[in-house]
Amino acid sequence: MISVLSGGVGAARLLAALRRYDEKLELEAIVNVGDDLTLHGLTICPDLDTITYTLAGLHNVDAGWGLAGESWRVMDELAALGGAAWFRLGDRDLATHLYRSQRLAEGATKTDVARELAAHFALGVRVLPATNDVVATMLDTEVGPLSFQEYFVAHHHDVRVTRVRVEAHDARATPEVLASLARARRIIVAPSNPVLSIDPILAVSPLREVLRERRDEVIAVSPLVGGRALKGPADRLLRDLGHRPDSLGVAQLYRDVVGTLVIDEVDAALADDVRELGLRCVVTTTVMADPHDAQRLCEALLA
Amino acid sequence: MISVLSGGVGAARLLAALRRYDEKLELEAIVNVGDDLTLHGLTICPDLDTITYTLAGLHNVDAGWGLAGESWRVMDELAALGGAAWFRLGDRDLATHLYRSQRLAEGATKTDVARELAAHFALGVRVLPATNDVVATMLDTEVGPLSFQEYFVAHHHDVRVTRVRVEAHDARATPEVLASLARARRIIVAPSNPVLSIDPILAVSPLREVLRERRDEVIAVSPLVGGRALKGPADRLLRDLGHRPDSLGVAQLYRDVVGTLVIDEVDAALADDVRELGLRCVVTTTVMADPHDAQRLCEALLA
C-alpha cells in the first residue's frame, strides 16, 4: 500500500499514472484541505475535487482545471445579479459542492463525503482529506493578507508574497490518515507546491512527526523542472520567500521529512547538492509528457 | 401607501395586479419567512423569491412555480451523485440562493438581500421579509413532525395534519416592517393560506398586536372559493385542523385582526354569517382569471 501526500493537479496526474501503472496497487491519497473555502454558503474543497474528477476521468484536459462538458448557467446568472462570481463554479461542479455542503450539515465529515464521492465514481483510490478540521493557508502579500483562493484565483497568483501562514490551530489528522501512513510501505510526496500544498498537510498534527519517523520510506517528486513549475506559482513563490526556486530549494524544504527526492533529468547537475543535504536523489523524467515517461516515473517511485 | 401581508403565489399575483391597476400606488409586501429553509448550505426563501420572480415577470406561468426558461443541470448532476434532490432548485433559481447565502455570510440581512434583488429587477414594489430572525412553520402529521417544505414538497401536502406549530421564539419584526404598517393607509392580507402563510407573519412580534390595533384598516382576501383553495392545501388543511374549509372559516380565523373580508361571488351566501362575526364583508370576484376580474378585485381592495 502506498500513501501519496497530495495537492491538486500535479498530484492528481501522478495518482492517475500510478493507478494505470499497476491496477493492483493499493493507493491512498492524503489530500491538502488548506485551500478549502466557504463561498455562497457552500463548502468547497478544490484539491479533493481535482483529484476526484481527474481519477474519474471527468477533468477538462484542455483547460487544465475544472470538468469536461461543464456549463456555466448558475455563474452567469449570479454575475448578472451582481453576485460574487470571481471564483468560477460550473453547474456540474456545483452539484459536488451542494452534495458536500448538505452532507456536512447532516453531520457527515469531509472524510465521509470524499469516501462517498470516490465510491460513486469508482475511483479505485482512497481519497482522504488530511483532516476534518479547519486548515487555512493565508498569504501575506504586497496587497495585504489574502486567503489562498484570493491569492490564487482572484489575484491570479500574480502578487509578491512575503509570508505564508498555515492556520492549522488544533487540526488533527483523521484516524484514516494515521492508519494509512502507518500501513504504507512507501509514502510518496506528489509533485505539488511544497509551501502551498504539502506544508498545509504537514501542519496537521501529528503528520510532520509521522513523516520524520518514516523519513526513509518517504520519496518526494520535485515539482520544479529546470527552475520552473509546470503549473502554478511554485517557482516565483519560493523566490519571493527567499528559497532557491529549483529542486535544490525543494530538497532544503523537505530534508527533515523526505528520504529520497526525485528530480528531473534537466536538473541532473543538482543531484550531488541534493545528496549533500542528506537525501537520496533519483534522476529521471518527472514531467509525464507521455505514457512512457509516466511509466518511468512510476517505476522510480515504486522501485 | 398600501402594505400587503404576503405568502407566495396568490400574494404575488395580487401584488402584480395591484401594481398594474395603479402604477403610482406605493406598495410594500410584508412577506412570510416561515417556509424558509437551509439546504445544501444555502438559505432559501421561497415566498420572497416567488414574489420577486413574479413581479419581475420571470415566473413560469405554465408550471405555476419556478422560473421561465429554467434549466436543471445542477439538480440533475446532484441527483446522479445521490444527493438530496427532492427540493428542485433550477440553475437560474440557484443563482439567487447563492447570492443570498453569500450576502448573509457577509453580514447582510434578508431585508438587505430582498432590497438588492428588488432593485436589480426594478420591481416597483418594496419586498420586506416579516423578520430577519428565524421563523419555522412545523407541522405535526400522520407521518410525524415535518418542516413546511417536507410537508409541502416532499409529501406533496398529501398527509393529514393534526397541528401547525409556528416556531417564532424571539423573532421580531424589522423596523422596515413596523414603519410600513404604521404608514400604510390600508393593510391588505393577500389570498394566501391563513394558517401556513399569514399566521407565521402574525407570529412575529408584535405584528398580531399591530394588526389588532389597525383592524379597521385591514382588509383580507379569502383564499377559498366555493370551499376550495385555488392552489395549495388550504381547504384540506383547515378541515384537518377542525376549521370550516370555506370563507366563513377564514373569517373565524381572521376575526381579531381583520376588519373587512373580501369573498368571492360564489360564496355570497356566506356574507351574512361573516358579518355576524363582526367583520365587514365585500362580495366580488376574487379569482383574477382575467385582467378585468383582477381590476374589479383591486377596486374593491382600494375603495
Predicted-complex ipTM score: 0.91
Tell me how close the Cα of B43 comes to any Cα of chain A, in angstroms: 8
> Which three cell numbers mark B270?
356566506
Q: What's phi and psi for A262, nearest 5 deg? A: -95, 120
Scan residues 24-83 of A and list those with Cβ closer than 8 Å to B. 38-43, 71, 73-75, 77-78, 80-83
Q: Do A41 and B39 touch (CB under 8 A)?
A: no
Closest-CA residue of A relative to B95 is: A78
Average pLDDT over residues A138-163: 95
Contact list in B for residue A74 (CB cut-off 8 A) is 74, 91-92, 94-95, 98
Of B81, B91, B97, the CB nearest to A99: B81
Q: Does A101 touch chain B (CB under 8 A)?
A: yes
Cα distance between residue A183 and residue A38, in whole Å: 33
Least reliable range by pLDDT among A94-98, A116-120, A287-291, B142-146: A287-291
pLDDT attached to residue B230 = 85
What is the reported pLDDT for B66? Answer: 86
| Binary contact (A74, B81; C-beta < 8 A) | no
pTM: 0.94
Contacts of A58 in chain B (CB under 8 A): none
Flag if A99 and B40 touch (Cβ within 8 Å).
yes
- Identify which of B84, B99, B116 has the shortest CB distance to residue A102: B84
Task: Answer yes or no: do B80 and A95 touch at CB < 8 A.
Answer: yes
Which 8-state DSSP code applies to residue A57?
T
Which DSSP string do the residues of chain B spell out, in sequence order?
Answer: -EEEEE-SHHHHHHHHHHHHH-TT--EEEEE--TT-EEETTEEE-HHHHHHHHHHTT-B-TTTSSSBTT---HHHHHHHHTT---SS---HHHHHHHHHHHHHHHTT--HHHHHHHHHHHTT-SSEEEESBSS--EEEEEETTEEEEHHIIIIITTT-S-EEEEEEE-TT-BB-HHHHHHHHH-SEEEE-SS-IIIIIHHHHTSBTHHHHHHHTGGGEEEE-SEETTEESSSSHHHHHHHTTS-SSHHHHHHHHTTT-SEEEEEGGGGGGHHHHHHTT-EEEEE--S--SHHHHHHHHHHHH-
State the average pLDDT for chain A: 96
Residue (of B140, B206, B127, B209) closest to B170 by Cα position: B206
Query: How confident is the model over A42-54, as a mean pLDDT?
Result: 97
Partner-chain residue, chosen from A81, A101, A120, that has the shortest CB–CB distance to B96: A81
Tens digit of pLDDT at every position of chain B (303 positions): 999 999 999 999 999 999 999 999 999 999 999 999 999 999 999 999 999 999 999 998 888 788 999 999 999 999 999 999 999 999 999 999 999 999 999 999 999 999 999 999 999 999 999 999 999 999 999 999 999 999 999 999 999 999 999 999 999 999 999 999 999 999 999 999 999 999 999 999 999 999 999 999 999 999 999 999 988 899 999 999 999 999 999 999 999 999 999 999 999 999 999 999 999 999 999 999 899 999 999 999 998
Separation in Å, CA of B257 to nearest CA in chain A: 38
Contact A262, A284 (CB under 8 A): yes
Q: Verify whether the Cβ–Cβ distance A83 to B98 is below 8 Å.
A: yes
In the block, residue with C-alpha cell 512510476: A298
Q: Are A71 and A92 in contact (CB under 8 A)?
A: yes
Q: Is the pLDDT of residue A262 over 90?
A: yes
If residue A185 lies in a helix (H) or strand (E), which one and from where to where? none
pLDDT of B166 reads 97
Q: Which candidate from A41, A71, A120 shows the least CB-CB separation from B43?
A: A41
* pLDDT score recorded for residue A231: 84
pLDDT for B212: 98
What is the residue extent of each domain of chain B? Answer: 2-59+123-302
pLDDT score of A271 more than 90: yes
Q: Is A84's Cβ below 8 Å from some Cβ in B?
A: yes
Q: Do A99 and B78 touch (CB under 8 A)?
A: yes
Q: What is the pLDDT of residues A167-196, one digit of tens each?
A: 999 999 999 999 999 999 999 999 999 999
Q: For residue A30, what pLDDT is reported? A: 98
- Residues of chain B neighbouring A101 (CB-CB closer than 8 A): 40-42
- Confidence band, pLDDT 50/70/90 cuts, at residue A130: very high
Q: In 10 A of CB A278, how many CB atoms?
A: 11
Task: Spell out which residues of chain B touch residue A84, defining contact as CB-CB under 8 Å.
Answer: 102
Which chain A residue lies closest to B103 (C-alpha atoms)? Answer: A40
Report the candidate in B256, B259, B263 with the shortest Cα–Cα distance to residue B286.
B263
CB-based contact B91 A91, cutoff 8 Å = yes
Assigned CATH topology for domain A2-59+109-302: Rossmann fold (3.40.50)
Residue A61 has pLDDT above 90, yes or no: no
Min Cα distance A40 → chain B (Å) is 4
Mean pLDDT within A133-140: 97
CA-based nearest distance B80→chain A, Å = 9
Q: Name the architecture of domain B2-59+123-302.
A: 3-Layer(aba) Sandwich (3.40)
